[in-house]
Amino acid sequence: MDDVSSSHLTEATKEKLRQTIDRVERLEEEKKEIAEQIKEVYAEAKAFGFDTKALRQVIKIRKIDRAEREEQEMVLDTYLAALGEI
């Protein structure tokens, strides 16, 4: 059993622990807030008359498209790198 997992933590270790928990909790809070903002955007769009289901589909497709484009760029990079080595 080492210092960190034992019940005898140094002050520095305890401080580190406190900081770590604090940072995670803050970040999770921020993440939650952003998720709520996304919801609000959809609610607004719905109120405007958009079909949110279709909207979500569009955004999903665009994400897939980006992923595909990135993949293609990666393939291109690989070829270019291979060419560079010739």
60 binds DNA (CB under 7 A): yes
28 lies in the site for DNA, by CB under 7 A: yes
Least Cβ distance, residue 20 to DNA (angstroms): 13
Q: Does 73 bind a second copy (CB under 8 A)?
A: no
Q: Which of residues 2-21 bind DNA (CB under 7 A)?
A: none
Q: Does 31 bind DNA (CB under 7 A)?
A: yes
- What is the secondary structure of 6-62 as a DSSP string? SS---HHHHHHHHHHHHHHHHHHHHHHHHHHHHHHHHHHHHHHT--HHHHHHHHHHH
